[in-house]
Chain A
Amino acid sequence: MSLTDELYRETILDHYHHPRNQGELNNATIKIEGVNPLCGDEITLYFNADDKTLSDVKINSHGCSINTASGSIMTECVKGQSLENVKEVINTFKTMMLSKEDNTELSEELEELECLRGVKKYPVRIKCALLPWNTLQQGLERLSSGKTDNQDQYVEK
């Protein structure tokens, strides 16, 4: 099956079966849910941040391998980073997944994301990979708006 060496590379399966930073953060600065109503992927994202740094992040995933692996790798890429860096990483990943050309270069710190590039060939599943990132993006918007106590949900369209 071609998927064995493309979509379901070992890295994805490793993160799927052993997701990093999985769980909840008590008293998180931001808690935000992300759902994809079409396929039923659901995540809850927690992070602690001040106006400069995203100090800690956890994710509770109930999704497919792509969704879970993408969220797991995301937490590793953004944890402890400056907010500026976090936004740049989000941009880099979204550009890689959404651009028609396949020439987005990943720095050494982000090379784990390489395994998700193959998902581009399966348009319906790009959303599985993007859900954690779009949810984080919406969480950061809430952080900068100062309305941190709002209940919020990102819905993948």
Chain B
Amino acid sequence: MMNIEKIRQDFPILDRKINGHKLVYLDNAATSQKPNSVINAISDYYKNNNANIHRGIHTLSEEATTAYEDVRDKVAAFIGAKETKSIVFTRNATEAINLVAQTWGKTNILPGDEIVISAMEHHSNLIPWQWLAQERQAKLRFIELTPDGLLDMESAKSVINDKTKLVAITQMSNVLGTITPITELSKLAHAHGALLLVDGAQGVPHLPTNVEEMGADFLVFSFHKLLGPTGVGILWARPELLEAMPPFLGGGDMIASVWRDKATFNELPWKFEAGTPNIADVIGAGAAIDYLMALGMDNVRAHEIELTDYALKAFQTLDDVKIFGPMDAKLRGGVISFALDHIHPHDLGQILNESGIAIRAGHHCCQPLMRDLKVWGTARASFYLYNTKAEIDLLIEALKEANKVMGHVAYR
């Protein structure tokens, strides 16, 4: 069990007042808040160790290099990767997916091949594959959802076949909260000779994640949703895949030797890290991993199941509410998309903000899914380890108030 009140003291922003109310931050699926240890790691680095990494002879450069490279070990341990060289730093999960599409994709996808994703992918796990499929005359296919918002494995079995070269799938939906059966998908994909890319942008911050147990070939995620700073993402891939992939961006640090007319490239993982990376924020990301590992991801998950279960039940006490996605908290993460009759999500977001409650409203970068759900957008409350049942009570009260504001005035 985690001591949530103690945890909350580590997050200075949670003391903020918004419109005279204490902040209730329920927009964690968009980005998480940061503990003092992360904020301090970044400012300490700039105050004491700032230098460019690699090739530096002086003390500061050595310190910066060590601090930066140490985070790679931490990331490997955090996701159960066997080899540190399989961890590539990117700007975010989106860039990591684009990296795979532009390098592995362009050398492995041929006309007539098929790429399989699901109907609930974020645009970041859709657009790169749309582009690749168009460019390579390949086919993009979709695994559909069951009526209660789970991944339909019958649909998966019908679209994954011997033409499939890649299955790219979210670990947890940023709209429905749905957790996907990654291990099962891995077996299915591998049985047909396809690779599995896991979009862990939502999953890795909230679920215990082990790349070996999942049977993944690629895993991507972003640190800003995982208590870390913006501007740091991770691509993990099986090392033999990374070895065979051509470089992504060209420039400094990714080279071995350079002539006027040709170049050879650096070893893994630096082959994929052209230019000065985001050193300070990578170091901040290391502090985020330390924080989560000290708490234990199993404990984080248990807390979120409890919160989600509580919230799902509380939502059902509201009139005219529709909840999207599975109703069993064990099958989903702490992301609840909902709609109230006659209230546009945008209006809802604004009214809740008046009470200091931060939620998100809109299409959540999942326009195809919104079309499937036949809505223009949803309101979304999403939780993290510092949220409490008392905050969910405040949300529910504010939603009742919103119903009054938007409904009764007009109809009286």
Contacts and interface: CB of A to CB of B under 8 A. Distances in A.
Interface of A: 1-4, 7-8, 10, 13-14, 16-17, 38-42, 62-68, 122, 125, 128
Interface in B7-66: 19
Interface string B62-92: 0000000000000000000000000000000
Contact of B362 (A10, A39, A65): A39
Interface residues of B, number: 22
10 contacts: A2-B19, A3-B350, A3-B354, A4-B409, A7-B350, A8-B351, A39-B346, A40-B370, A64-B346, A125-B350
Given A39-B361, A39-B362, A128-B346, A65 B377 contact: no
B344 A1 contact: no
A86 B106 CA distance: 52
B347 interface: yes
A40 B370 CA distance: 10
Contact of B406 (A2, A8, A38): A8
Contacts of A10: 409-410
B347 A65 contact: yes
B405 interface: yes
B318 to A, nearest CB: 17
A17 B410 contact: yes
Contact of A65 (B344, B376, B401, B411): B344
A3 B376 contact: no
Contacts of A63: 344, 346, 376
- B interface SS class: helix
A16 B410 contact: yes
A4 B354 CA distance: 11
B122 interface: no
Nearest to B375: A40
Contacts, number: 62
B161 interface: no
A62 B376 contact: yes
- Name the residue among B347, B401, B411 with the largest chain A CB count within 10 angstroms: B347
- Name the residue among A17, A64, A67 with the largest chain B CB count within 10 angstroms: A64
Contacts of B347: 8, 64-66
B122 to A, nearest CB: 15
Interface string B306-344: 000000000000000000000000000000000000101
B377 A40 contact: yes
Nearest to A42: B376
Interface string B384-412: 00000000000000000100011001110
Contacts of A8: 347, 351, 405-406, 409
Contacts of A38: 362
Contact of A1 (B345, B351, B376): B351
A67 B406 CA distance: 15
Contacts of A13: 406, 409-410
A65 B376 CA distance: 13
Contacts of A128: 346
Contacts of B354: 1-3
B405 A3 contact: yes
Interface in B344-379: 344-347, 350-351, 354-355, 361-363, 370, 376-377
Contacts of A125: 346, 350
B146 to A, nearest CB: 25
A61 B401 CA distance: 25
B363 A40 contact: yes
Given A2-B354, A64-B344, A40 B376 contact: yes
Of all A-B residue pairs in the complex, the 6 with the closest CB atoms, nearest first, are A64-B346, A64-B344, A40-B377, A13-B410, A17-B410, A40-B363
